[in-house]
């Protein structure tokens, strides 16, 4: 009996060590209204990741960098992973992909006084398109160039820089997440500047985004499996959808 009590005490002492959440560090860029260090709760994508990691017994923290730097830091294993990236075969060599955390729609923004319409890639011939540095759109448009479509490509480190280049007639189109660019237009541009811009309703792409776990980190596979399990739980119990419902209500009230 005494031995059982001793073992019971030992297990009680070990229990905090067993259940202690494992720290995990993820990089991100600024992508308001979805993820930003300046948003309440750092945005809905951050809320979803926090909920999923809590379910997975992971203690997550975030570091904000330019997007291309966020990718590099995780790729090198200096951070455990990075948030909000589309799948490419090249990236899969360096990262383990989570299940999708969000699906984004990327559209073309253009100057309202310049006619623009498109339905197929050939319609982009002769136009200069601004895209985010390191985004999947760089690869997609480069492939169009290789196929013989004369689309011009210009990369920008910041989302707002694309819109300023568009306003200054340095590019013909700014390609990006519809909600992100609309948020920037609303929060950073003047009324006159905002009035000059519009977007085409036909999306250039509709793309699932993921958390990428670095293959340089020994626990990368464990992190990804645990995260996916947590993500499935919050989708099943309704918390995932509740975050998006609250996000949409806030957008409608603005």
Any domain includes 150: yes
Any domain includes 5: no
Same structural domain for residues 241 and 191? no
Question: Based on the number of CB atoms within 10 Å of its own CB, is 116 exposed (0-12), middle (13-18) or buried (19 or more)?
Answer: middle
Domain count, the chain: 2
Coil, helix or strand for 216? coil
Same structural domain for residues 168 and 125? yes
Q: Note the pTM of the prediction, 2 decimals.
A: 0.83
Structure confidence by residue, pLDDT tens digits, 71-123: 999 999 999 999 999 999 999 999 999 999 999 999 999 999 999 999 999 99
Any domain includes 79: yes
Q: At which residue do the structure tokens 């992190």 appear?
A: 223
Structure tokens of 143? 């492939």
pLDDT for res 2: 39
Same structural domain for residues 97 and 160? no
Omega within 30 of 0 (cis) for the link into 33: yes
List, as one string, the DSSP characters of 41-94. Answer: GG-HHHHHHHHHHHHTTEEEEEEE--HHHHHHHHHTTSSSEEEEE---HHHHTT
pLDDT for res 183: 94
Domain residue limits at 224: 21-101+208-253
Same structural domain for residues 72 and 111? no
Same structural domain for residues 39 and 76? yes
Same structural domain for residues 83 and 145? no
CATH number of domain containing 144:
3.40.190.10
Same structural domain for residues 166 and 131? yes
Same structural domain for residues 179 and 240? no
Return the DSSP state at 3: H
Same structural domain for residues 242 and 151? no
Q: What is the mean pLDDT of residues 14-42?
A: 85
Same structural domain for residues 235 and 198? no
Same structural domain for residues 143 and 202? yes
Given a contact cutoff of 8 angstroms between Cβ atoms, the answer to whether 157 and 71 are in contact is no
Structure confidence by residue, pLDDT tens digits, 50-76: 999 999 999 999 999 999 999 999 999
Which of 169, 190, 206 lies at the terminal end of a domain, its last residue?
A: 206
């Amino acid at each position: 009996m005494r031995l059982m009590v001793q073992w019971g005490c030992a297990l009680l002492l070990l229990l905090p060590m067993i259940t202690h959440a494992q720290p995990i560090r993820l990089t991100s860029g600024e992508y308001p209204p979805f993820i930003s260090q300046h948003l309440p709760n750092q945005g809905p994508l951050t809320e979803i990741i926090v909920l999923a990691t809590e379910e997975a017994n992971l203690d997550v923290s975030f570091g904000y960098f330019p997007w291309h730097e966020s990718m590099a830091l995780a790729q090198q294993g200096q951070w455990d992973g990075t948030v909000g990236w589309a799948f490419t075969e090249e990236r899969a060599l360096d990262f383990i992909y989570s299940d999708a955390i969000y699906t984004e729609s990327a559209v073309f923004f253009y100057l309202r006084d310049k006619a623009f319409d498109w339905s197929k890639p050939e319609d982009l011939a002769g136009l200069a398109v601004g895209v985010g540095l390191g985004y999947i759109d760089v690869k997609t448009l480069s492939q169009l160039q290789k196929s013989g479509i004369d689309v011009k490509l210009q990369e920008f480190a910041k989302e707002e820089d694309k819109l300023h280049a568009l306003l200054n007639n340095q590019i013909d189109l700014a390609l990006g997440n519809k909600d992100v660019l609309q948020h920037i237009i609303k929060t950073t541009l003047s009324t006159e500047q905002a009035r000059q811009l519009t977007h085409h309703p036909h999306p250039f792409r509709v793309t699932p985004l993921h958390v990428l776990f670095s293959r340089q980190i020994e626990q990368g596979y464990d992190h990804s499996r645990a995260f996916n399990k947590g993500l499935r739980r919050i989708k099943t119990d309704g918390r995932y959808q509740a975050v998006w419902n609250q996000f949409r209500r806030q957008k409608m009230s603005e």
